[in-house]
Amino acid sequence: MLLASAAIVIGIALLVWGADRFVDGAASVAKNLRVPPMIIGLTIVSLGTSLPEMIVAAMAALDGNRDLGIGNVLGSNIANIGLVLGITALIIPLAVKSMTLRREMPVLFMITILAFALMSDGELSFMDGIMLVVSVVLLLIWITRLGLKDRHDPLVAEFTESIPEAMSMGKSVMWFVVGLVLLIISSRMVVWGAIEIAHYFGVSDLIIGLTIVAIGTSLPEMVASVAGALKGEADLAIGNVIGSNMFNLLAVLAMPALIYPGIYAPEALLRDFPIMIGFTIALFVVSFGLRKIGGIVNRFEGGLLVSGFAAYLYLLYLQS
């Protein structure tokens, strides 16, 4: 039990650090090949936001465990809204730009509906995975076109402002390789530790994916959002969460579908997916302002999001 817990904690830390090194290396290689910075930000960096979840889901699927990856997707999206945005709003009210509500939120709802439709038959098939990958490509094209039209869009700014400093080609390749190796090793640690803890407590792998793994892989978003709030850059937090949730539902969910397709735990569709939709709707509602302020997620609403997340964890505890 102690060894499994240590594997998860150390594994998640190495996973996050390795993902940063991998993205830095890949982005720097692209820079040295004279790829435009905006394209780098809207492709490599944007996918990097969900890289820890993608690698964990892929490794879990390779081990014949699709439920852990699916739980990671749904749990991370719930944690991003309830925990990350909720805590950030408690620190400082979040400004919501009107274009975010008019453009990004409808796309997030469309992606959510697509994922629900693909999962509604109780299984993730290989064709479902292909459709999710095609949707990722379409999303990247849309974000890139959006960036060419409006560089100040919160979703675009979140990715383009995270482009790392240029490095030599040799150093770039080194960090790319180091990051890749760390991602493989650390994800194996996380998956092994999660499965061991699930067996120790007699709970499902889905529950572990929804809680320990999901919260762990959402910590980077929380740290980045809180740091941005303290610097007065809280407006990027909304774009960060929306972008992360989009890629989770497409790129991360595609991993178990492509690697280990088949029937998954029905609770994911009957309990967790509706709750994730509820949190997504809550994000839309509080973005307009429950007190008709509009354009601000205030501390009261942030407290409601955190309370909702705590209630969800309590529900999982009661049912497991």
* Residue 147 CB contacts under 8 Å (≥ 6 apart), including other chains: 38, 41, 42, 153, 156, 159, 160
CATH number reported for the structural domain that contains residue 234 in this entry: 1.20.1420.30
Picking from 204, 317, 314, the residue whose alpha carbon sits closest to that of residue 266 is: 204
Residues 227, 240: Cα–Cα separation, whole Å: 13
| CA distance readout (Å), 177 to 25, 54, 262, 315 | 8, 17, 32, 41
Full-model pTM: 0.86
Instruction: Provide the pLDDT for residue 236.
Output: 67
Cβ proximity of 15 and 186 under 8 Å: yes
At 290, which amino acid appears?
L
Neighbouring residues of 251: CB distance < 8 A, sequence distance ≥ 6: 47, 50, 54, 132, 133, 136
pLDDT at 223: 74
Query: Would you state the pLDDT for residue 157?
Result: 64
CB 214 within 8 A of CB 82: no
The DSSP result for the chain, as a single string, is -HHHHHHHHHHHHHHHHHHHHHHHHHHHHHHHTT--HHHHIIIIIHHHTTHHHHHHHHHHHHTT-HHHHHHHHHHHHHHIIIIIIHHHHHHSPEE--HHIIIIIHHHHHHHHHHHHHHHTTSEE-HHHHHHHHHHHHHHHHHHHHHHHH-TT-HHHHHHHTTPPPP--HHHHHHHHHHHHHHHHHHHHHHHHHHHHHHHHHT--HHHHIIIIIHHHHHHHHHHHHHHHHHTT-THHHHHHHHHHHHHIIIIIHHHHHHHS-EE--THIIIIIHHHHHHHHHHHHHHHH-TTS--SEE-HHHHHHHHHHHHHHHHHHHHH-
| Domain span including residue 218 | 2-319
Q: From first to last of its 320 residues, what are the pLDDT tens digits of the chain?
A: 788 888 888 888 888 888 888 878 887 887 777 777 666 666 676 677 778 888 889 988 998 889 999 999 999 999 999 999 999 888 888 877 656 566 788 899 999 999 999 999 999 999 999 999 999 999 988 888 877 776 666 666 666 666 666 678 888 888 888 888 888 888 888 888 888 888 888 888 899 889 988 888 887 777 777 776 676 665 567 777 888 899 999 999 999 999 999 999 999 999 999 999 999 999 888 877 655 545 678 888 999 999 999 999 999 989 87
Number of structural domains found in the chain: 1
